[in-house]
Structure 1
Amino acid sequence: MKTTNQLFSAIAMMLLLLSVQFTFSQEQPQSPEYVTMTTMHWSMDNDDFTMDDWKAVEKEFMDKVTMKNEYVMAAGFYLHNISADNSELIYVQAYPNWNAIDLAAKKADELIEAGWPDKAKRDAFFKKQSAFYEVRHSDEIYGTMPFAKPLSIEATKDMIVHLRVSHFAYPEDGSEEEFMKTFKEYHENVTNKNEYIKAYYPMVHAYGSDKRQFVEATFLSSIDDINDMFEKDGELFKAHWSDEEAKKKMNEIGEKYFTGFHSDAVYSVVPELRK
């Protein structure tokens, strides 16, 4: 049985089909257009590992490099909580445009040289940093979508991110008017009114392993709020689409663009390591 959240997959699919360039209104001039997600893995051979040491190393890098990089709008680490691989952690960075991804990398090189001018100390720092991770990692780039719900509160140690990855279908009878109208209506009457959802960021594949991917990152105050969030979504959906015929039409729109597959994972926010 498909959930109401799957409606967003329908809308994202149409954005891909019609090659819509995501833009933001004047009320959201600072919204990023692209997000990179790097999935890394803890090194199981690091016998000296402590979470405090890891945070201290990454905090030093963030203070000297990421925080000073004007091309990176936001950044943060997300640790495995409930996912298929307990060794994984995800590092996310947000950019104002596509060119900024390349410019940010070049700027980082400059800031690294300035932050550790002594080569011996620089090499020692990065050797210590790299010891926390395995060599393998994967990278994805996503395009952001309109109607996000930005985080308006400070992140806490209990805050989590519910990450849902869905797969698009490819209907021939879709239209831009249909998905934009429906997406906006759902956002205004469900997501934006759900008090358990502290932030919501929908994204679509831009560059990476699977063009079918539609990613929804939902921030919650704690893991205890997951079930409450879904229940509230259902209540708000039924309240707005109270007519049975309206409910049926909404579900049909969602099913038209969605394959039925999705995966869910939960990650913990690291408040000390955020830009």
Structure 2
Amino acid sequence: MKTIKGLFAALAGVLLLSSTSTIAQEQTRPEFVTITTMHWNMDNKDFKMEEWKAVEKEYLDKVTMKNEHVVAASFYLHRMTPDNTELVYVQSYPSWEAIGKAATRNAELEKASWPDEKARKTFLKKRDAYYSPMHSDEIYATMSNAKPMTAKPTLDMICYVRKGHFAYGDGTDEEFDAISKEYFDNVTNKNEFIKGYYPMAHAWGSDRTEFLEAYFFDSMADLEKMFDRDTELFEAHWKDEASRKSMAEKGAKYFDNRHGDYIYTYVAGLAK
């Protein structure tokens, strides 16, 4: 059922790949998300997590929180991923144009917050010293059928990311829309262990087939419980084997069988 769950959750946003105007029509959510995968500077022998948090908190308060072009921003630390040196920085924006404007605004706010050039360079150098020069950037388009968190978290959370890939073949927009919404309404949205769910599709980057689903949980235990609860909800809505098989067959042509799983710690104190 884990495969069935991921399969149908993926369908929640496929329609937007062929119709970006749908995104623009939904003014209640950001339009784009940038994901920067960074790496710790492993040569920094004096690294202390609390000191890193303090530096990033200062930048958050003085710059990011005041940047009107950034809707949200957050850090994610490696928990179960292929590379223990990585950390991920995510920002969301109301439009494509806002991405460029945000960078310009950051520079303005940095000068305003540290008007003395020497002090500003010292702080930014200290901040940069935590990270390796190597990083990668991807931009994703947000999707419908998200389950936003009801309040900004005050404690660290578990973030489970499922990276899948769309297949481009037979199918119709109408069928996409119908089966994705039906699954979301009756399974994902009803699963009480899922505190937040955010689907995203590739907009700019290395792989146009990429599809990301970010799930938020209070604990690792709740992540495990999600799968069993999904099964219960799935079987409660599609009550017989024939209807379950029909749903699976409809969805199968819209994605391929590749996916990757990643688990991060969402850092509550470093989020906008």
Partner residue of 1:207 out of 170, 180, 204: 204
Instruction: Tell me if structure 2 keeps the 8 A contact 1:8–1:254.
Output: no
Aligned-pair distance for 1:200? 0.2
Number of positions where the alignment pairs a residue of Structure 1 with one of Structure 2: 271
Instruction: Tell me if structure 2 keeps the 8 A contact 1:24–1:146.
Output: no
Aligned to 2:176: 179
**Partner secondary structure for residue 23 of structure 1:** helix
Greater shift in the superposed pair: 106-115 or 251-260: 251-260
Are 1:145 and 2:146 matched, yes or no? no
Instruction: Tell me if structure 1 keeps the 8 A contact 2:156–2:268.
Output: no
Distance 1:19 1:29 in 2: 15
Distance 2:225 2:251 in 1: 22
Distance 2:204 2:189 in 1: 28
Aligned to 1:15: 16
Instruction: Tell me if structure 1 keeps the 8 A contact 2:9–2:184.
Output: no
Aligned-pair distance for 1:233? 0.7
Aligned to 2:80: 82
The C-alpha deviation readout for 1:204-252, integer Å capped at 9, x for no partner, is: 0000011110000000011111110011111101100112221011111
Aligned to 1:273: 270
Aligned to 2:62: 64
* Structure having the larger proportion of residues in helix: 2
Partner residue of 2:242 out of 238, 242, 245: 245
Distance 1:232 1:8 in 2: 14
Distance 1:144 1:133 in 2: 28
User: Counterparts of 1:107-186 in structure 2 under 5 Å?
Assistant: 107-171=105-169, 173-186=170-183
Structure 2 unaligned segments of length 5 or more: list them.
none
Distance 1:73 1:254 in 2: 33
Please give the TM-score of this superposition, normalised by the length of structure 2: 0.95
**Partner secondary structure for residue 178 of structure 1:** helix
Aligned to 1:258: 255
Instruction: Tell me if structure 1 keeps the 8 A contact 2:30–2:71.
Output: yes
The C-alpha deviation readout for 1:163-182, integer Å capped at 9, x for no partner, is: 000011111x2101001111
Aligned-pair distance for 1:86? 0.4
Please give the TM-score of this superposition, normalised by the length of structure 1: 0.94
RMSD (Å) for aligned C-alpha atoms: 1.5
**Partner secondary structure for residue 164 of structure 1:** strand
Q: Would the alpha carbon gap of residues 112 and 156 (structure 1) be closer, same or farther in structure 2, given more than 3 Å must change?
A: same
Aligned-pair distance for 1:40? 0.2
Distance 1:10 1:253 in 2: 10
Aligned-pair distance for 1:155? 1.7
**Partner secondary structure for residue 200 of structure 1:** strand
Structure 1 unaligned segments of length 5 or more: list them.
none
Distance 2:110 2:100 in 1: 16
Distance 1:9 1:29 in 2: 22
Aligned-pair distance for 1:77? 0.2
Distance 2:24 2:229 in 1: 28
Distance 2:250 2:92 in 1: 30
Distance 1:189 1:253 in 2: 17
Distance 2:212 2:35 in 1: 11
Instruction: Tell me if structure 2 keeps the 8 A contact 1:9–1:257.
Output: no
Instruction: Tell me if structure 1 keeps the 8 A contact 2:9–2:188.
Output: no
Q: Percent identity?
A: 53
